[in-house]
Amino acid sequence: MSGPLSTNTKLSRVIQASRRHLSNRSPREALRTIATLNSRSSNDPEVLYLSAIAHEQLEHSRKAIELAKRALKQVKRVEPMLILARCYRRLGETEQGISWCEQIKKHRPDDLSVIALHAGTLEEAGRVGEAFEILSPVVSHHRSSGAELPLGPLCEWSKVLVQRKDYIGAIACIDKLLSRDDLPDSLRVSSLFLKAKAFDRAGEYAAAWECADIANQLGHVEYDPELHEEGVDALLENWSLERMALFPISNCESQVPVFIAGMPRSGTSLIDQIIDAHPRAAGVGELDTIETFALNLARNYVPNLAPPACFGNLNSASWSRVAHAYIREVQGKAHEHADRIVNKALGNDKLIGVLAKLFPRTKIIHAIRDPRDVAISCFMGGFNNNVHAWTTKVEWVANAWALSERMMRHWKETLDIPILEVRYEQLVADPQNEIPRIVDFLGLEWHDSCFDFHKSSRTVRTLSYDQVNRPIYNSSAGRHVNYIQHIDGVRFPEYY
């Protein structure tokens, strides 16, 4: 960070204190300190920049972008540009991120961190060849000089090599990463999962399993299957057919919102990308707006009161406001011609009741896949263990799969909104019939672009980002066979 741009005494003190908080990764403290300023001082370009950094650390990317742009408008500096490049990359808006990287490189052409950011954004956008061309000279220079390649370029080079199917080279680079004492824990975990991916794609399944197992044990959080089941029991009891008849319901008649529900790694991203390819549809990824509303419902819920009194002051008018606000939000994120806008948030399976009351004319797509393949894909995938602890063991995934299926069965039996089941295995085996079935379900006219979804320049923010940007393939169906010795003895739910 550059030094403060202001001389005002209080402002300077706040800036210095905020910078200390941010250096200590305490963004909320930084924002609390900044909040003590009056409105004029809070619009100081350095304050705006520091506020943007704080929101970036909190992963509030949209707010960080807004503040960085305001700071940049006042003073042309590289630092806010870096925030914009990083945040657009995190949001999956890679073309914007690439554009900002190109602007930054005009000012810092030899900055290796900028080169790494540029290459990484290109790789996530599917422009692997360009990422390779950018990093190759850097790698060659360090190799010929005998110098150690810095952390950022080494990380991105490893990913590029995996994408180029140079698995031996990728594994060698990842081993260099893992041998470093300065490797942050989060990067150590992601590097192990990347190594597992390289081994898996190379057909070295025992080595892949070992890497994923080590990664899943780092920062491991315990999962309680019985507690999870109790939570599902309570949900289905509270959202019974009889009780739901008395629940608030919004007046939103929009057919725009569509939701994909199902376990992760069940084809949700693939379905989202197919729909987004239609000229009258769009995807907004894993938007958590409705989950936030559901959490608010839970905080206000009074269990000993009958509905609708059990929701306190969150009556039908409140639900209507939330529904219409959501429509405005997703329309603001989608192109103007989108008649259907898809949200594939993980956790939609437990929110279907809420969705039906918010959007009585919504449609739901239930993505379902062989629980054994889901278990392997989750175990090998590197989810956020703090949120989804059940992904760290295949037997826990099996339990979570059964509970998800139980919830979806309940919604199908108790709600009158249309729910389309899409089985991953059928989708990849027979896309010529399955894709039109999805489009027809949404009430859209057929368009051939849905078969060419992989040609989209859109970047999907998902663990499978490098898979949904290619034509449909069926090699992942039945992938558990490669790990049969590792899942022997695990009780999986029946799947037909």
CA atoms within 13 A on the CB side of 319: 23
Please check the confidence at residue 182 and state whether its pLDDT lies above 90: no
| Higher pLDDT, residue 83 or 6 | 83
- With beta carbons less than 8 A apart as the criterion, state whether 66 and 55 touch: no
Give the amino acid at 89. Answer: R
For residue 147, give the DSSP letter.
Answer: P
Q: Which CATH number fits domain 225-487: 3.40.190.10, 3.40.50.1000, 3.40.50.300, 3.40.228.10?
A: 3.40.50.300
pLDDT at 464: 52
Residue 489 main-chain phi, psi, to 5 deg: 95, -15
Which two tokens mark 334? 């989608």
Please check the confidence at residue 466 and state whether its pLDDT lies above 80: no
Q: What is the mean pLDDT of residues 458-463?
A: 56
Among residues 144, 143, 83, the alpha carbon closest in space to that of 117 is found at: 83
Q: What is the mean pLDDT of residues 401-413?
A: 97
- With beta carbons less than 8 A apart as the criterion, state whether 398 and 376 touch: no
Please check the confidence at residue 403 and state whether its pLDDT lies above 50: yes
**Arithmetic mean of pLDDT over the chain:** 92
Q: What is the mean pLDDT of residues 209-230?
A: 90
- With beta carbons less than 8 A apart as the criterion, state whether 455 and 439 touch: no
Q: What is the mean pLDDT of residues 367-377?
A: 97
Among residues 176, 217, 180, 174, the alpha carbon closest in space to that of 192 is found at: 174
Residue 281 main-chain phi, psi, to 5 deg: -145, 165
Which two tokens mark 468? 């949904």
Please check the confidence at residue 459 and state whether its pLDDT lies above 90: no
- Between 167-178 and 151-163, two packed helices, what is the crossing angle to 10 degrees? 150
- With beta carbons less than 8 A apart as the criterion, state whether 188 and 178 touch: yes
Give the amino acid at 69. Answer: K
Residue 223 to residues 36, 243, 370: CA-CA distances in angstroms?
41, 30, 22
Q: What is the mean pLDDT of residues 111-131?
A: 96
- With beta carbons less than 8 A apart as the criterion, state whether 256 and 296 touch: no
- Distance (Å, rounded) from C-alpha 55 to C-alpha 84? 12
- Distance (Å, rounded) from C-alpha 399 to C-alpha 197? 24
Which two tokens mark 135? 């990093």
2-11, 390-399, 453-462: least confidently modelled range: 2-11
pLDDT at 39: 87
Among residues 45, 56, 50, 23, the alpha carbon closest in space to that of 34 is found at: 50
pLDDT at 3: 47
Confidence of residue 166 (pLDDT cuts 50, 70, 90): very high
Q: Which residue has the tokens 């950018």?
A: 134
Helix (H, G, I), strand (E, B) or coil at 62: helix
pTM of the predicted protein model: 0.87
480 burial (CB, 10 Å; 0-12 / 13-18 / 19+) is buried
pLDDT at 92: 85
Q: Where are the alpha helices (DSSP H) in 58-184?
A: 61-74, 78-91, 94-107, 112-124, 128-145, 151-163, 167-178
- With beta carbons less than 8 A apart as the criterion, state whether 149 and 138 touch: yes
The per-residue b/e assignment along 312-326, b for 16 or more CB within 10 angstroms, e otherwise, is: eebeeebbbebbeeb
Sheet with 340-343, side-by-side order of all strands: 281-283, 340-343, 257-261, 363-368, 419-423
What residue segments make up the domains of the chain, in order of their start? 225-487
pLDDT at 4: 44
Q: Give the model confidence (pLDDT) of 235-251 as tens digits.
A: 999 999 999 999 999 99
Q: Give the model confidence (pLDDT) of 256-272 as tens digits.
A: 999 999 999 999 999 99
Q: Give the model confidence (pLDDT) of 288-346 as tens digits.
A: 899 999 999 999 999 889 999 999 999 999 999 999 999 999 999 899 999 999 999 99
174-183, 223-232, 470-479: least confidently modelled range: 470-479
8-12, 171-175, 491-495: least confidently modelled range: 8-12
Percent of the chain residues topping a pLDDT of 70: 94
Please check the confidence at residue 155 and state whether its pLDDT lies above 90: yes
Containing H/E element for 258?
A: strand 257-261
